[in-house]
Amino acid sequence: MLKQLKELRREALSELNQVNELRELNSWRVHHLGKKSKLTQILRSLATLPLEERKKVGAQANEIKRALESGLVEKKKFLEEIHLATSLEREGLDVTLPGRPVPIGRLHPIPQVLEEICDVFKNMGFQVFEGPDVEWDYYNFEALNIPQWHPARDMFATLWVDPEMDKESRLLRTHTSPMQIRLMEKKRPPIRAIMPGRVYRYEATDVTHESMLYQVEGLAIDKDITLADLKGTLFEFSRCLFGEERKVRFRCDYFPFVEPGVEVAIECSACHGTGCRLCGYSGWIEILGAGMTHPDVLKRGDIDPEIYSGFAFGMGVERIAMLRYGIDDIRLFYRNDLRFLKQF
């Protein structure tokens, strides 16, 4: 029996030597140390042996069991280390590899400037309202003192939605001024509002003209509003956006829905007033039209011009963005050239 045990030990250990995978190791364990293994059977049969033999065989069998068990533990550790090392090597990350850049989006320069403009007026107590791009002739023209026969219609090359071109026709609004009427119909004075939005013109494009652009309309109606309030508001606006130093020109202009009408221009950013292609060699760029709300316009909004007065202004956002950033061609904004857009 002792000889059989010795043989068993040699066989088991040499088989263990051959094992080089964790799965094989498990079958080795079942085969040599499991319930049905020879060793277990021998250990179980010890009771049937005579005392002397039982002692010897028992000691020997237990010693073999311990040897096999410790061989198993060691082999397991060894195989696990190899397994870990190879999988680390296979799945390894090279932490020194530069990452793939994630392109970060940003606001287009026009909405950026639009937001800035709105913030300036919000800080002065103006509320923001929006209205439709497709507008009735009534709001875009009639209610603003521009009846069908009026030559001022020529100021606004119009894109018509309805082909008739009469009072009941729809069009793409040519300015944000129709919002003045819409707001007066809804709100009672005191009113302090700005109305940003897109406007459309049937026009050939060039460095300062686009067929779609953004405007911000302003309207303030209250008792005792004067031209000085308008001038103060617009000068403050210009200071906030262009700084103290930038020259501002404030002079008369004509719009049928204001009386008197004014126009504000800013010193050209490209040539600093000496004259260039951008400013048409005048040194100035017009950024807005404004004036005191015409009494007939107030009446159309059901506001009594004997009690209330108001001012209105409308500015072109692209023009302001051009002055802000020194851009000399309005068409760049809508060409979607990333080299241009990435600069903002």
Q: Applying CB under 6 A, does 313 fall inside the site for ligand PHE?
A: yes
Contact with ligand PHE (CB under 6 A) among 314, 321, 322, 333: 314
Q: Applying CB under 6 A, does 298 fall inside the site for ligand PHE?
A: no
Q: The tokens 């090279």 sit on which residue?
A: 94
Q: In b/e form, how buried is each residue of 274-307, taking b as 16+ CB within 10 angstroms?
A: eebebbeeebbbbbbbbbbbbeebbebbebeeee
Q: Which is nearer to ligand PHE, 141 or 313 (CB)?
A: 313
Q: Angle at Cα 30 formed by Cα 25 and Cα 32, nearest 5°?
A: 90
| CA 58 from centroid of its chain's CA atoms | 80
CB of 344 to ligand PHE, least distance (A): 25
Q: How far apart are CA 201 and CA 198, in angstroms?
A: 10
In the region spanning residues 40 to 69, those forming contacts with ligand PHE, defined by CB under 6 A, are none
Q: Which is nearer to ligand PHE, 177 or 269 (CB)?
A: 177
For residue 83 the two structure tokens come to: 């397994």
The binding track of 144-163 with respect to ligand PHE, each residue x by CB under 6 A or -, is --------------------
Q: Applying CB under 6 A, does 300 fall inside the site for ligand PHE?
A: no
C-beta nearest to ligand PHE: residue: 314
Q: Applying CB under 6 A, does 143 fall inside the site for ligand PHE?
A: no
| Pairing outcome for strands 191-200 and 134-136 | unpaired
Q: Applying CB under 6 A, does 255 fall inside the site for ligand PHE?
A: yes
CB of 139 to ligand PHE, least distance (A): 12
Which sign does the torsion angle of CA 155, 160, 164, 168 carry?
negative
Q: Applying CB under 6 A, does 213 fall inside the site for ligand PHE?
A: no
The binding track of 258-287 with respect to ligand PHE, each residue x by CB under 6 A or -, is x--x--------------------------
SS3 label, residue 291? strand
CB of 173 to ligand PHE, least distance (A): 10
Q: Applying CB under 6 A, does 75 fall inside the site for ligand PHE?
A: no
- SS percent in the chain: helix, strand, coil, step 5: 45, 20, 35
CA distances from 183 to 25, 128, 176, 309 (A): 85, 11, 11, 15
Contact residues: ligand PHE, CB under 6 A? 175, 177, 255, 258, 261, 289-291, 312-314
